């Protein structure tokens, strides 16, 4: 057992070692008369009472010895890298709130007092700032999104205006950036848009339809001019695509023709009419109405054979593919009449009747003799 000594401040007894007493050259035993705990308490109360003075003294000391202190600190950090990092991490974890508060304050302070300093800082640390905020957003995704949408809601009008001005002022830069991004993320964008279209097929189709109807003329104009400008590239691409998908295309076309027989044959006739520069406005509905009008029978002989679209005035005489020149006729009448003048041909047939002639002329709107005369 070592010797014991009583603390002059708190009166407790402790062994006379440097574990319990601070060193002092004034005493014989080389230790202070007050215990370590009391010394610490004294220090603390002194620091608290003289905060400002100490701070100022430290500051002055630092200013006087800046180079030496900085070098020493640097050296220490370099040779204790891991320990310092670990301590820093612990400190940050422990003082999270006060640190962020301090940072915010400093940010605000700089913003108000040293705008150019802040600008410089941002410019110099562009990358790290961006990286930090990216990481922060990722980590706090949900709350950030909520905050953002709230902010947008509350500032809608001014944001729209700001965006408009920004886009106007930075047109070229924005386009360049967009192009660059698109090239860089080609595959990801394609995947994403595929999935998006798959999920939203119906709403997209609806929107597209509405947009098309509202902008029909300008769209057609644009497509036409685009085609004219890129004729060769388009043709080349089409060739390649056809080569690649030949079988699929043939199969599809066959099935389509089977499912849309009426439409396809009408399209063929329209094509023929266009080649002859004749009007070709007959629609499927008008054709269906014509058949309905004649009871789904041949307009001449009442036959119910497969019905063809019969040009009342023959194509060779400038007969149009329009509602006012097309009636249903059986194949036999259709080929028998051929290029002849309709009424005189009809009158020579065994199945001719005045009623049927009237019905045909009535349907074709040859209501008065004047119009009728023009065809004879």
In the complex, the residues that contact Zn ion under the rule CB under 5 A are 7, 9-10, 35, 38, 298, 300-301, 303, 330, 333
Comparing CB distances to Zn ion, the nearer of 301 and 364 is 301
Phi/psi of residue 275, nearest 5 degrees: -60, -35
Query: What is the 8-class DSSP label of residue 20?
Result: T
Q: How far is the CB of 321 from Zn ion (least distance, A)?
A: 20
Comparing CB distances to Zn ion, the nearer of 303 and 314 is 303
Comparing CB distances to Zn ion, the nearer of 294 and 300 is 300
Q: How far is the CB of 268 from Zn ion (least distance, A)?
A: 22
Comparing CB distances to Zn ion, the nearer of 323 and 331 is 331
Sign of CA dihedral 10, 12, 17, 18: negative
Gap between the Cα atoms of 243 and 237, Å rounded: 10
Q: How far is the CB of 342 from Zn ion (least distance, A)?
A: 12
Gap between the Cα atoms of 36 and 49, Å rounded: 20
Number of Cβ within a 10 Å radius of residue 327: 23
Q: Cα 239 vs. chain centroid, distance in angstroms? A: 31
Comparing CB distances to Zn ion, the nearer of 42 and 59 is 42
Gap between the Cα atoms of 269 and 87, Å rounded: 86
Gap between the Cα atoms of 311 and 321, Å rounded: 7
Q: How far is the CB of 293 from Zn ion (least distance, A)?
A: 15
Strands 326-330, 307-311: parallel, antiparallel or unpaired by DSSP?
antiparallel
Phi/psi of residue 172, nearest 5 degrees: -65, -50
Q: How far is the CB of 349 from Zn ion (least distance, A)?
A: 9
Q: How far is the CB of 375 from Zn ion (least distance, A)?
A: 20
Whether 351 and 301 have beta carbons less than 8 Å apart is answered as yes
User: Based on C-alpha coordinates, what's the Rg of the chain?
Assistant: 47
Gap between the Cα atoms of 188 and 205, Å rounded: 23
Comparing CB distances to Zn ion, the nearer of 11 and 128 is 11
Whether 192 and 181 have beta carbons less than 8 Å apart is answered as no
Q: How far is the CB of 20 from Zn ion (least distance, A)?
A: 9
Phi/psi of residue 301, nearest 5 degrees: -110, 0
Comparing CB distances to Zn ion, the nearer of 7 and 282 is 7
Comparing CB distances to Zn ion, the nearer of 37 and 118 is 37
Q: How far is the CB of 35 from Zn ion (least distance, A)?
A: 3
């Amino acid at each position: 057992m070592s010797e014991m000594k009583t603390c002059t401040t708190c009166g407790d007894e402790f062994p006379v070692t440097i574990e319990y007493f601070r060193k002092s050259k004034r005493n014989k035993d080389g230790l202070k008369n007050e215990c370590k705990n009391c010394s610490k308490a004294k220090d603390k109360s002194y620091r608290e009472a003289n905060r400002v003075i100490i701070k100022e003294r430290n500051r002055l000391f630092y200013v006087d010895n800046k180079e030496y202190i900085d070098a020493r600190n640097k050296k220490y950090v370099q040779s204790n890298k891991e320990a310092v990092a670990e301590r820093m991490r612990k400190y940050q974890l422990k003082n999270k709130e006060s640190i962020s508060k301090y940072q915010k304050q400093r940010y605000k302070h700089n913003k108000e007092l040293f705008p150019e300093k802040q600008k410089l800082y941002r410019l110099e640390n562009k990358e790290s700032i961006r990286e930090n905020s990216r990481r922060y957003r990722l980590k706090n995704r949900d709350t950030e999104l909520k905050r953002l949408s709230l902010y947008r809601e509350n500032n809608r009008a001014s944001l729209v205006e700001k965006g408009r001005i920004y886009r106007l002022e930075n047109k070229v830069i924005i386009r360049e950036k967009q192009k660059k991004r698109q090239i860089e993320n080609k595959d990801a964008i394609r995947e994403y848009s595929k999935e998006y279209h798959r999920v939203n097929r119906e709403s997209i189709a609806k929107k597209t339809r509405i947009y098309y109807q509202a902008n029909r003329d300008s769209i057609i104009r644009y497509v036409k001019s685009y085609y004219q400008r890129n004729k060769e590239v388009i043709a080349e691409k089409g060739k390649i695509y056809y080569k690649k998908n030949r079988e699929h295309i043939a199969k599809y076309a066959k099935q389509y023709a089977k499912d849309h027989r009426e439409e396809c044959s009408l399209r063929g006739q329209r094509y023929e009419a266009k080649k002859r520069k004749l009007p070709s406005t007959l629609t499927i509905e008008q054709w269906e109405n014509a058949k309905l009008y004649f009871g789904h029978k041949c307009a001449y002989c009442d036959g119910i054979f497969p019905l063809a679209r019969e040009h009342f005035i023959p194509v060779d005489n400038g007969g149009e593919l329009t509602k006012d020149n097309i009636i249903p006729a059986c194949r036999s009448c259709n080929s028998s009449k051929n290029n002849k003048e309709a009424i005189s041909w009809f009158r020579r047939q065994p199945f001719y009747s005045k009623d049927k002639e009237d019905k045909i002329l009535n349907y074709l709107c040859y209501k008065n003799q004047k119009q009728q005369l023009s065809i004879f």
